[in-house]
A = this chain, B = another copy of it.
Amino acid sequence: MPPIREMLAETGITEQQWRVLRVLAEYGPQNSSTLASRASLLFPSLTRIARTMQQKGLITLSRDDEDRRRQTIAITSLGQQIIDEKVDQAAQIVEGFRQKLGAEKYEALLDTLALLDPNNSEG
């Protein structure tokens, strides 16, 4: 999504990092595999992205005491700040896209993509 990238350019984060923040903001703290699936990222990609985002202070990583293989990832206030600053503009961009394509085609596209999404139960 070029317009989303353009919006994010001034924040210094990528589309994928934006997706990570959005998922964390929506679902709360969660382990890596859940987050990877929800953000449509492969595990090795998430590993790298998480390290970067931790260094930027956007998220925190912590070991799960129940199962020390597992890692819990959470958004920081700095990360939440980016969400808060950009969420309206992002919604506007999506709405503009929907208008340009037409509501019908847009909904049909989302449905079909959901069917094809391997991270979605409907697949």
A112→B101 contact, CB < 8 A: yes
Provide the residues of chain B in CB contact with A105, threshold 8 Å.
108, 112, 115
Contact with B along A85-103 (1 / 0, CB 8 A): 0000000000000000100
Interface size on A, residues (CB 8 A): 7
Q: Which of chain B's residues have a CB closer than 8 A to the CB of A116?
A: 101
Q: A30 to B116: give the CA distance in the assembly, Å.
A: 34
Interface residues of A (CB under 8 A from B): 101, 105, 108-109, 112, 115-116
- Listed by A's residue number, 10 A-B pairs whose Cβ atoms lie within 8 Å are A101-B112, A101-B115, A101-B116, A105-B108, A105-B112, A105-B115, A108-B108, A108-B112, A109-B109, A109-B112
